[in-house]
Homo-oligomer: A and B are copies of this chain.
């Protein structure tokens, strides 16, 4: 707390996440499972620059929101979300819902945001469980027939097909 501008819970969150790119990098890892530098760079919808991506990955590692494995020479580094980052799902959902209502957005991405909003905290919890399995190796506490990540992808794909 001594290093923060203040001990306000909103402020401490903004200090970690309040820049133009950190949440975008976390979003890509969280919702599209991009785990490697090159994939995050090449598939970026916002065309993130490589130096900015490198800086943000470094900052997110330092802030305890990401970890990276050490695969040895010739192998690609894989980034994983930490529990701290996984618990940003409700923040992402509310930010997306605000964007849907108050700014122009792209229909397929809007469909995913609306689904995530309509699913509410129950869907957010289920999605966090999936992320814990994927990123932290924690088995799903309850079996499921269809994953939230699959539902989100399907919602986006259906709208994309309809407008293509």
Q: Interface extent on A, as a size class? A: 35 or more
A4 to chain B: which residues have CB within 8 Å? 103-104
Interchain CB contact (< 8 A) of A20 among B15, B94, B113? B15
Q: What string of 1s and 0s marks CB contacts (under 8 Å) between A1-16 and chain B?
A: 1001111111111111
Copies in the complex: 2
What CA separation (Å) do A129 and B6 show in the bound complex? 28
Q: What string of 1s and 0s marks CB contacts (under 8 Å) between A84-120 and chain B?
A: 1001101111111111111111100110010000000
Interchain CB contact (< 8 A) of A14 among B16, B24, B101? B24
Q: A84, B102: Cβ atoms under 8 Å?
A: yes
Q: Report A25-75 residues with CB < 8 Å from chain B CB.
A: 27, 45-47
Q: A13, B101: Cβ atoms under 8 Å?
A: no
| A19 beta carbon closer than 8 Å to chain B | yes
What are 7 residue pairs bridging A and B, where the CB atoms are less than 8 Å apart in the complex?
A7-B106, A7-B110, A10-B95, A12-B104, A13-B99, A90-B98, A93-B94
